[in-house]
Structure 1
Amino acid sequence: MMEPAVAGQTLPRAFLRIGGATLAQHQLGLALALDCQRVICLARGTSPEMIAVQRMAEDAGLQFYIASGARSLSGLVTASDELVVIGEGLFVEPTGVLPLLEGRSPAVLVQPVEGGLAAGFERIDINRASAGLMRIPGHLVENLQELPADCDVHSALTRIALQSAVPMRDVPATVRSGVDWRLIRDESEAHAVEQDWLNERFADGGYVSPGRLIARRGVLRFGSTLLHAGNASNMLSLGVVGSVAIAGGLAWFEFLVPAFLLLGVAALLVEASRLLRSVERHALGQLPPAIPRANVLGWLLDAAFGLSILAGVPRLGGESLISWMFPAAMLMMLLALIPRYVTGMVASLAADRATLGLLLAFAARFGQVEPVVEVLAIALIVIGMALPLRRKD
């Protein structure tokens, strides 16, 4: 973490952000995936960004150290250690790295020199360039004592490893393709990689319902700005709760058209928060919780839809409570149930609460909420009976 992101400034490029997390935090996620026990950051000193990385490492159970150069690094590594060396500014997906560094055998990862030099990696020989990653025996670090204190540690360790007959291992072209293996040197490259990374993570796969498509396009358009602002998914989650509360108030006073439209907007925010939260967890190397927050928000949204439907269904004199609640309850339960048993367009549409909000707003405009709810419920039952069931493993 030595090189500045912008000439004349002090912020290292290791603290450029991609997906709401710094490059250093992405690299820490790689270290966790490789089962490292200690993390040593080569840096000139502490900073708020460095403290954030330290806190993240210690929360994950790792020991954390800062080394200011070659001499201090050699004092932290013993001959019995194994050292994984990650190049400055390297952005890689752990899933592509793990097969290349599996086992305990040392290796210097390399790539063809043509593409490697163009991407900013260091030349190793006439045919190969460094790939920015290697696993080497700890005793090789002692050789840094013979070099000037201000030497480039990563470059020096690469040369030492190759001179010590550590084998080179080529990174397959499929792993280096796309945004899975990049060297980030400045803010513009970080923004470009971030946008490509988001596009790749949210690439369309099969049929996508209108509501989810709008949410996905919104995340691709504004997700980078929200992620850089911090707490992107938290902000959208608060937006969901606020929208549901306002929609509930509107339904209470029988303003059903704006109530259903606002619930449709809340559905878009739920989907956007789900997408952004998945990016935040991935960037920080966090596993998804047993019950994702988006699921809880979805349950809240379904409850609000059910209550708003009841506000548009008059209760007849002498009608039982169960009879009055039955159409709304049946529709919302079927909408939750059908996607578990069928696939494709029907499942996607059944899970699309934004489209449901628009349809119910249209029905409320003409005072036909109850007939539309009943028709939808019957249609879902017929679909569930007619379509092939989702195959279970």
Structure 2
Amino acid sequence: MRTAILAALDHGDGGILRSGMPLRGRSVLAWQGRAVRALGCERVICLIDHFGEDIIALQRTVEGDGGEFHAVRSGRQLPGLLRGEDELVVLLDGLVVDPETLQAVTCGDGDLAKGVATLPASHPLAQAHPDAFERIDRERAWAGVLVMRGAPARQLAELPGDGAVIPLLLRLALQSGIAGRPVPPEMIGEGEWLLATSGEALAGRERTLIDRSLAERSWTGPGLVLAQAIARRVAPRAAASAPLAAAGATLALLVAGAVLAGFGFAPAGLGVAAAGALAGASAQAAAMVARALLGVDAPRLPGGWFTALSDTFAGG
């Protein structure tokens, strides 16, 4: 069985659990759960010290999607859940990595491949967080992702139960001869491969994603500039609802404008229609932000008429 092993134990700045820090409207742990489920992990095991809200939310998500979930407090509980032939995907506590990037790192020729993901020991992440991104040798550090068989992990039954489980799994994998797999430099660029140490660090990641998403199209014209500014302010806080809310406002305003024009109030109708076009442009911008923040879970808007309205009215 393909099994993910996650952890919700380590604390970041301010004593907050790294796994519980908010990112793009969800906890870091929720994003890890989404990433490993996208890899095909049928079962998720999470190491915890208490059964908090984030753990309950992850359990509901995994089980609601047909998966199996276990929360354990000790490494000695793992061998009883694992078989030697199981495929294990192990993530560092608090690691932030997109599902697409995780798949690229862990899969060779489309199949999950055993390996210890590595980054250069001189990399800023390894230098700033040596306890998390552990040195493997003089030149390499662990990158926070590991794919191994269940057989070495079953040796946890023979080790002290109070040891840090994720580092122990790393050592057992290396001792079993699993090779290192360097993470391509372009995948660990600024904000692409991140440890959740503080809210500020995660907010910076969100800003990077928003900037990239809005750079996909030109926002020239006063109306489009305003629409982009509205999306920057509103969409990150309500990524799942803002695009559809703006689309609804667009329809309402356009209908109202047409009604006013039909009753002879053409200037007022044109003004209301222009407001509808601005709402449409805002919906487009919010949808771009939502896709960047939520990925496949982002709401989808109707097609080309939104763009046509924005170009006609809001861009002028």
Residues in 2 aligned to 1:256 and 1:231: alpha-carbon distance in whole angstroms: 27
Residues in 1 aligned to 2:242 and 2:160: alpha-carbon distance in whole angstroms: 45
In the alignment, does 2:302 pair up with 1:266? no
CA shift, 1:91, in A, is 1.1
Q: Which residue number corresponds to residue 45 of structure 2?
A: 40
Residues in 2 aligned to 1:29 and 1:8: alpha-carbon distance in whole angstroms: 25
What is the CA deviation profile of residues 283-333 of structure 1, one whole-angstrom value per residue up to 9, with x for unaligned ones? xx54x7xxx64107x76x7xxxxxxxxxxxxxxxxxxxxxxxxxxxxxxxx
In the alignment, does 2:119 pair up with 1:107? no
Q: Which residue number corresponds to residue 95 of structure 1?
A: 100
* SS, match of residue 41 in structure 1: strand
What does 1:191-340 align with in structure 2 at a 5 Å threshold?
Answer: 191-204=203-216, 207-208=218-219, 210=221, 211-212=223-224, 214-227=226-239, 231-244=241-254, 246-247=256-257, 250-251=260-261, 253=263, 254=265, 255-282=268-295, 285-286=296-297, 293-295=300-302
Q: Which residue number corresponds to residue 85 of structure 1?
A: 90
The alignment's C-alpha RMSD in Å is: 2.8
Residues in 1 aligned to 2:126 and 2:158: alpha-carbon distance in whole angstroms: 28
* Greater C-alpha Rg: 1
Residues in 2 aligned to 1:36 and 1:114: alpha-carbon distance in whole angstroms: 32
In the alignment, does 2:156 pair up with 1:149? no
Matched residues, number: 298
- Identify if the C-alpha distance between structure 1 residues 240 and 174 changes in structure 2 by more than 3 Å, giving closer, same or farther: same
- Out of 118, 122, 147, the position equivalent to 2:127 is 118
- Identify if the C-alpha distance between structure 1 residues 352 and 216 changes in structure 2 by more than 3 Å, giving closer, same or farther: farther
Q: Which residue number corresponds to residue 4 of structure 1?
A: 11
Matched to 1:166, the amino acid is I
TM-score of the superposed pair, with normalisation by structure 2: 0.81
CA shift, 1:68, in A, is 1.8
Note if contact 1:45-1:66 (Cα within 8 Å) is conserved in structure 2: no
Note if contact 2:84-2:149 (Cα within 8 Å) is conserved in structure 1: yes
Note if contact 1:260-1:358 (Cα within 8 Å) is conserved in structure 2: no
In the alignment, does 2:67 pair up with 1:58? no
TM-score of the superposed pair, with normalisation by structure 1: 0.67
Structure 2 alignment gaps of length 5 or more: 1-7
Residues in 2 aligned to 1:95 and 1:73: alpha-carbon distance in whole angstroms: 28
Q: Which residue number corresponds to residue 180 of structure 2?
A: 168
CA shift, 1:235, in A, is 4.2
- Identify if the C-alpha distance between structure 1 residues 35 and 248 changes in structure 2 by more than 3 Å, giving closer, same or farther: same
Residues in 2 aligned to 1:128 and 1:73: alpha-carbon distance in whole angstroms: 28
CA shift, 1:233, in A, is 3.6
* SS, match of residue 265 in structure 1: helix
In the alignment, does 2:77 pair up with 1:69? no
- Identify if the C-alpha distance between structure 1 residues 252 and 54 changes in structure 2 by more than 3 Å, giving closer, same or farther: farther
Residues in 1 aligned to 2:53 and 2:256: alpha-carbon distance in whole angstroms: 38
> Which stretch of the first structure deviates more once superposed, 130-139 or 175-184?
175-184
Structure 1 alignment gaps of length 5 or more: 302-350, 363-393
Q: Which residue number corresponds to residue 5 of structure 2?
A: none
* SS, match of residue 50 in structure 2: coil
In the alignment, does 2:309 pair up with 1:357? no
CA shift, 1:49, in A, is 2.6
CA shift, 1:156, in A, is 1.2
Q: Which residue number corresponds to residue 379 of structure 1?
A: none
Matched to 2:68, the amino acid is Q
- Identify if the C-alpha distance between structure 1 residues 135 and 267 changes in structure 2 by more than 3 Å, giving closer, same or farther: same
Residues in 2 aligned to 1:220 and 1:99: alpha-carbon distance in whole angstroms: 30
- Out of 140, 143, 156, the position equivalent to 1:128 is 140
> Which stretch of the first structure deviates more once superposed, 90-99 or 129-138?
90-99
> Which stretch of the first structure deviates more once superposed, 92-101 or 80-89?
92-101
Residues in 2 aligned to 1:87 and 1:140: alpha-carbon distance in whole angstroms: 18
> Which stretch of the first structure deviates more once superposed, 261-270 or 104-113?
261-270
- Identify if the C-alpha distance between structure 1 residues 262 and 217 changes in structure 2 by more than 3 Å, giving closer, same or farther: closer
- Out of 179, 186, 189, the position equivalent to 2:201 is 189
Note if contact 2:249-2:276 (Cα within 8 Å) is conserved in structure 1: no
Residues in 2 aligned to 1:147 and 1:294: alpha-carbon distance in whole angstroms: 54
